[in-house]
Structure 1
């Protein structure tokens, strides 16, 4: 469970317009993180190398002037979340090729993958909103930068764990909808999920003489089932957003959602 009061520290927020390239940004982030109370035992060079290795796997520059550099360490227990703003922008190999001005960074415990994925999703959602980006860029100093971001973050990241769950059975017959729904589920706190490979009924019905004229011999249609335990507190939001995805993609006939109440749940699934 992510604790807001433990994850955000003002020491991990800064504005620096003197940086010139991707490497200098990563080194600056490593130095900032090393000064956080939870990482005082970690050398900044180790943090830099971990961030660099993650970038070699693929850029964390998401586009729209934002990037979320992150790494995992085996010898820490708590998350560090911070932000570096470079007002003039840096070439960070972003997906859209544009300079990056806002860098939210995460140093995560290796043993807490689920929380790491959830935290990445929440931060990406916050920074994916243009009014939020504009407000962050208007910050005059690091204290104001901290206040703006923390106010948004606390609204999306819960302080207390929700113990009551609904079991969502989401049957999807469209790969685009599937990825959109999977993305939104990773944002919901305390949600566990797994994917079941399924088969469209037409794959079998076309083998019956009575129905074979309805389908040709083309490839099998997409079909997957998402099973997710979602805290009851967030169930209405989940349903609303799934419906929004179906309406946006005009695919109401390719999504079915069945919600069941749970009597008892135990454990948590790794992503």
Structure 2
């Protein structure tokens, strides 16, 4: 019976977690939750022989501690054939390959409705007893028999939901990062040697065949003169812009024991992700920097990349955590208006929007209403100069397929920073948009 089934929700984002818990409890399921992948795995193992073992795991693909994929791999290692529903924002080729494998794995794509979640759970727990009432959502979100991307025809792609398509990209890092430009466990012992190694790796790329190693090296050194690209926490993103380059070249180097790279925190640098950019494409350069920074902001992601010992594994580990562009069939934009009175949160929020492709951003210097109310005689005795404070408003247009995932990341950022006031988020539909602006 459904009432006896125990479901574990492994999800950090509060809104998603509490919504799922409310819906599933009301449907008669026994529900518990974990806030990290490691906690979820421990809970499953500890309850194997208990009165109420875990019957179904619902896990976020990017949960901290252990990612959703790592939890799945560990369950496989322990020989536990537990039904699993993976939550994520986009369906990339990596996800398609895993879903098409032998795991009892279903896929719940954000945004999803409560009915879709219930149908997905029913399908995962009772595969021989399809829920007729929710049959259509199950077909859209929980098809565990999808072919791998290499075998999908154009007709197959057209039949997938809009959020399942990854064929059309405007800034796909997978196209820019080649294995020839990746090296694990470099032997360089100082910053200058690292820069030289980067230039040599970059020169292997066909786009840079006409450039000399010395020219690439000088471009990187010139950038370092303006300030170190060692941003702390063991991470550096060396980059430069060159003329007469048709596209971006990305690469990765690792040195797990770290070397001195003039990092801003003075600590050894272990992971280097480099960008050689066309000088004429400044906006995309900024977005790629932001996207890479977003991936490397997670210690779990960095540790996973550093543990990889060959270019193919490093590339897969890095790309797994990057954005994959969503099919543009779903037209239209949403407008985010985020008013920020917390100076400590402003840069992180702005960076979140800066990493989104085709996102137009403006920042308005602002004051709270009190600044003007206090100018009125009635409120004059409440005013003092200290009450002005910090206030800026970020306006960002985001393509609709990305809006839900952007909102989720924004909520996660605020939760992780324990920010409960001083930030106001407004999301609206855009009826008309024309033109572009630079970052």
State the TM-score, normalizing by the size of structure 1: 0.90
**What runs of 5+ residues in structure 1 fail to find an aligned partner?**
none
Summarize the Cα distance change of 1:251–1:206 in structure 2 as closer, same or farther, 3 Å threshold.
farther
Q: Secondary structure at the match of 2:345?
A: helix
- The correspondence of residues 157-168 of structure 1 with structure 2, limited to 5 A, is 157-158=324-325, 160=327, 163-168=331-336
Residue in 2 that maps onto 1:226: 394
- The correspondence of residues 91-240 of structure 1 with structure 2, limited to 5 A, is 91-153=260-322, 156-158=323-325, 160=327, 163-218=331-386, 220-240=388-408
* 2:259 counterpart of 1:90: yes
Q: Report the Cα distance in structure 1 between the residues aligned to 2:184 and 2:436, rounded to whole angstroms.
A: 38
Q: Secondary structure at the match of 1:50?
A: helix
* Cα RMSD after superposing both structures: 2.1
Summarize the Cα distance change of 1:147–1:5 in structure 2 as closer, same or farther, 3 Å threshold.
closer
- The correspondence of residues 237-252 of structure 1 with structure 2, limited to 5 A, is 237-247=405-415, 251-252=419-420
Measure how far apart 1:194 and its partner are. 0.6
Verify the 8 A CA contact 2:326 2:401 in the aligned structure 1. Answer: no
Runs of 4+ displaced beyond 6 Å? none
**What runs of 5+ residues in structure 2 fail to find an aligned partner?**
1-169
Q: Report the Cα distance in structure 2 between the residues aligned to 1:128 and 1:224, rounded to whole angstroms.
A: 24
Q: Report the Cα distance in structure 2 between the residues aligned to 1:238 and 1:88, rounded to whole angstroms.
A: 35
Q: Secondary structure at the match of 2:386?
A: coil
Q: Which has the higher contact order (CA 8 A, sep 6+)?
A: 1
Measure how far apart 1:117 and its partner are. 1.4
* 2:176 counterpart of 1:7: yes
Residue in 2 that maps onto 1:32: 201
Q: Report the Cα distance in structure 2 between the residues aligned to 1:170 and 1:239, rounded to whole angstroms.
A: 11
Verify the 8 A CA contact 2:326 2:402 in the aligned structure 1. Answer: no
Measure how far apart 1:134 and its partner are. 2.2
The one-character-per-residue Cα deviations of 1:47-86 (angstroms, maximum 9, x if unpaired) are 1011011111111112222211011112112111111122
Q: Report the Cα distance in structure 2 between the residues aligned to 1:217 and 1:139, rounded to whole angstroms.
A: 54
* 2:264 counterpart of 1:71: no
Q: Choose 72-81 or 12-21, whichever is displaced more.
A: 12-21
State the TM-score, normalizing by the size of structure 2: 0.57
Measure how far apart 1:247 and its partner are. 4.7
Verify the 8 A CA contact 1:84 1:102 in the aligned structure 2. Answer: yes
